[in-house]
Amino acid sequence: VSTLIYSVVLPAHNEEDLLETSVLEILKGLRDRGDAFEVLVVENGSTDATVAVAERLEREHPEVRLLRLAGADYGRAIAAGLLAAAGDVIVHFDVDYYDLGFLDEASALIRSGRAGIVLASKRAPGARDRRPIARRVLTAGFTTAMRLVLQMPVTDSHGMKVLSRAACQDLARTCTMTGSLFDVELVLRASRTGVAITELPADVSELRPPRTPVIPRAIESGAGLIRLRVLLWREARQPNR
Ligand SMILES: Nc1nc2c(ncn2[C@@H]2O[C@H](COP(=O)(O)OP(=O)(O)OP(=O)(O)O)[C@@H](O)[C@H]2O)c(=O)[nH]1
Ligand SMILES: [Mg+2]
Q: Can you tell me the distance from the alpha carbon of 43 to that of 67, in angstroms, rounded to the nearest whole number?
A: 6
> What is the pTM assigned to this prediction?
0.96
pLDDT value at residue 238: 86
Q: Determine the atom of ligand 1 nearest the C-alpha atom of 217.
A: 24
Q: Is 179 in the pocket of ligand 1 (CB under 6 A)?
A: no
From the CB of 156, is ligand 1 less than 6 Å away?
Answer: no
Q: Residue with the nearest Cα to atom 29 of ligand 1?
A: 12
Query: Ligand 1 pocket, 212 CB below 6 A?
Result: yes
Distance 209 CA to ligand 2 centre (A): 7
Nearest CA to ligand 1 atom 23: 210
pLDDT of the residue at 46: 98
Q: Ligand 2 centroid vs 112 CA: distance in angstroms?
A: 31
**Is 44 close to ligand 1, i.e. is its CB under 6 Å away?**
yes
Find out whether 124 and 234 touch, Cβ atoms under 8 Å.
no
Whether the CB-CB separation of 113 and 217 falls below 8 Å is answered with: no
Give bridge partners of residue 199 from the DSSP assignment: 119
Nearest CA to ligand 1 atom 19: 210
Any atom of ligand 1 within 6 Å of the Cβ of 94: yes
Q: What is the pLDDT along the chain (241 residues), one digit of tens a residue?
A: 569 999 999 999 999 999 999 999 999 999 999 999 999 999 999 999 999 999 999 999 999 999 999 999 999 999 999 999 999 999 999 999 999 999 999 999 999 999 999 999 999 999 999 999 999 999 999 999 999 999 999 999 998 999 999 999 999 999 999 999 999 999 999 999 999 999 999 999 999 999 999 999 999 999 999 999 999 999 999 866 5
Q: Which residues contact 152 (CB under 8 A, 6 or more apart)?
A: 146, 184, 187, 188, 191
Q: Across-strand partners of 202?
A: none
Is residue 148 classed as helix, strand or coil in its secondary structure? Answer: helix
Spatial separation of the C-alpha atoms in residues 52 and 68, rounded to whole Å = 12
197-214 pLDDT, tens digit per residue, is: 999 999 999 999 999 999
To test ligand 1's pocket by mutation, which of 22, 25, 74 has the most ligand atoms within 8 angstroms of CB? 74
80 C-alpha to ligand 1 centroid (Å): 15
Q: For position 98, what pLDDT does the model report?
A: 97
